[in-house]
């Protein structure tokens, strides 16, 4: 089973995101999520985001986030926590407010304090800052960038450290895997945080990838090392590899398996790559078809909870380490 193999191979965990509604209503889904030998780490797919935890100012609700936190507690799985500062799933009272530096700092501090204190002692890592770089390699436009410029990067990490000094503090983003302009900008982001004297422990590579366009194991490892050489951990935090068209040909299923093996293999090749998390594990539930219609089947189990070729590739690459 994947987590057992991953731990034997020297990783801290092999994990999955947990869909909050599926975990409560689909017992076949829940049985696999609760199997620590398969998934040694869980992360809430949506339940800890700002729109879920503080939908209106100063009113906090943790019902959804607690679903996954309680799964982790019950099974002794690591919990990754996701996410504190993000331009998306940000309630409009934040994104459309008219803020000064002082008033938005206070809004961020109240949010971070309440959410982190609720989960204190439970999170192996927190995605403090999510997706602050645009695909073009510019800084991502958001209310935070407009009010603070890049000062909100160190601000976010300093606030997070203040309210949970013991969790690992991560920057998390997608398309860093291609080692292009966006990757360069993420390197700059880490430098800005470090140069400001703020704490950052890790960089999460989301790895929302495409079958046949996934970089090689060696190139992925090279990209991970650009970050670990700055003194931070890395992890694959939201791995899925989608087919560009469906149904997938049998050759595409083989390619998908190879792509998965390259990603997991690159983590095994890099000393400070701590683990791999898939963004959901079954094609029955995935964010992809609604966002990229006509594409999908991106995960390691099919919609009937049968293991796919991609599962076998992952298990083989872990077993070979």
Does the footprint of ligand G3I cover residue 61 (CB under 6 A)?
Answer: no
Taking the C-alpha atoms of residue 49 and residue 45, their distance in angstroms, rounded to an integer, is 9
Does the footprint of ligand G3I cover residue 206 (CB under 6 A)?
Answer: yes
Determine whether 20 is an active site residue: no
What minimum distance in Å lies between the beta carbon of 251 and ligand G3I? 27
Taking the C-alpha atoms of residue 205 and residue 276, their distance in angstroms, rounded to an integer, is 9
Residue 121: Cβ within 10 Å count = 8
Burial environment of residue 197 by CB neighbours within 10 A (0 to 12, 13 to 18, 19 or more): exposed
What minimum distance in Å lies between the beta carbon of 47 and ligand G3I? 9
User: Which of positions 109-168 make contact with ligand G3I (CB under 6 A)?
Assistant: none
Residue 49 or 308: the one with the smaller Cβ distance to ligand G3I is 49
The site string for ligand G3I over 37-56 (x = CB under 6 A, - otherwise) reads: --------xx----------
The site string for ligand G3I over 171-190 (x = CB under 6 A, - otherwise) reads: ---x----------------
Burial environment of residue 59 by CB neighbours within 10 A (0 to 12, 13 to 18, 19 or more): exposed
What minimum distance in Å lies between the beta carbon of 289 and ligand G3I? 11
* Of positions 66, 238, 259, 297, contacts ligand G3I by CB under 6 A: 238
DSSP 123-177: -SEEEEEE--B-TTSSBPPSHHHHHHGGGHHHHHHHHHHHH-TTSEEEEEESSGG
Determine whether 238 is an active site residue: yes
Distances (CA, A) of 228 to 132, 177, 295: 19, 14, 33
What minimum distance in Å lies between the beta carbon of 28 and ligand G3I? 19
Query: What is the CA angle 268-238-119, rounded to 5?
Result: 105
What minimum distance in Å lies between the beta carbon of 83 and ligand G3I? 7
What minimum distance in Å lies between the beta carbon of 130 and ligand G3I? 6
Active-site residue (options: 20, 45, 54, 238): 238
SS3 of residue 13 by DSSP: strand
Residue 48 or 315: the one with the smaller Cβ distance to ligand G3I is 48
Residue 89 or 229: the one with the smaller Cβ distance to ligand G3I is 89
Active-site residue (options: 45, 54, 131, 177): 131
DSSP H helix total and E strand total for the chain: 14, 9
The number of residues that bind ligand G3I (CB under 6 A) is 8
Helix H, strand E, coil C: the string for 301-313 is: ECCCCCECHHHHH
User: In this chain, which residue has its C-beta nearest to ligand G3I?
Assistant: 287
**DSSP class of residue 249?**
P
Does the footprint of ligand G3I cover residue 287 (CB under 6 A)?
Answer: yes
User: Which of positions 67-96 make contact with ligand G3I (CB under 6 A)?
Assistant: 88-89
Q: Please identify every residue annotated as catalytic.
A: 131, 238
Binding site for ligand G3I (CB under 6 A): 45-46, 88-89, 174, 206, 238, 287
């Amino acid at each position: 089973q994947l987590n057992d193999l991953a731990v034997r191979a020297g990783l801290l965990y092999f994990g999955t995101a947990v869909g909050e509604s599926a975990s409560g209503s689909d017992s076949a889904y829940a049985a696999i999520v609760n199997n620590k030998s398969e998934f040694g780490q869980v992360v809430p797919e949506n339940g800890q985001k700002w729109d879920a935890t503080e939908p209106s100012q100063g009113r906090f609700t943790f019902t959804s986030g607690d679903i996954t936190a309680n799964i982790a507690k019950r099974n002794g799985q690591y919990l990754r926590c996701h996410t504190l500062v993000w331009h998306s799933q940000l309630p409009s009272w934040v994104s459309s407010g008219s803020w000064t530096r002082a008033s938005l700092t206070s809004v961020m501090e109240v949010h971070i304090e309440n959410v982190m204190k609720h989960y204190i002692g439970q999170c192996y890592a927190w995605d403090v800052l999510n997706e602050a770089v645009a695909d073009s390699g510019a800084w991502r436009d958001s209310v935070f960038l407009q009010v603070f410029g890049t000062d909100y990067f160190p601000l976010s990490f300093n606030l997070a450290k203040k309210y949970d000094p013991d969790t690992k503090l991560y920057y998390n983003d997608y398309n860093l895997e291609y080692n292009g302009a966006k990757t360069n900008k993420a390197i700059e982001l880490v430098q800005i945080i470090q140069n400001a004297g703020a704490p950052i422990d890790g960089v999460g590579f989301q790895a929302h990838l495409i079958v046949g366009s996934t970089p090689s194991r060696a190139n992925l490892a090279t990209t991970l090392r650009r970050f670990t050489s700055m003194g931070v951990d890395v992890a694959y935090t939201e791995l899925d590899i989608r087919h560009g068209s469906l149904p997938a040909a049998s050759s595409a299923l083989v390619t998908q398996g190879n792509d998965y093996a390259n990603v997991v293999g690159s983590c095994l090749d890099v000393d400070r790559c701590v683990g791999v998390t898939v963004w959901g594990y079954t094609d029955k539930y995935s964010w992809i078809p609604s966002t990229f219609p006509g594409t999908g089947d991106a995960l390691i189990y099919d919609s009937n909870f049968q293991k796919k070729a991609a599962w076998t590739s992952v298990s083989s690459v872990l077993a070979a380490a």
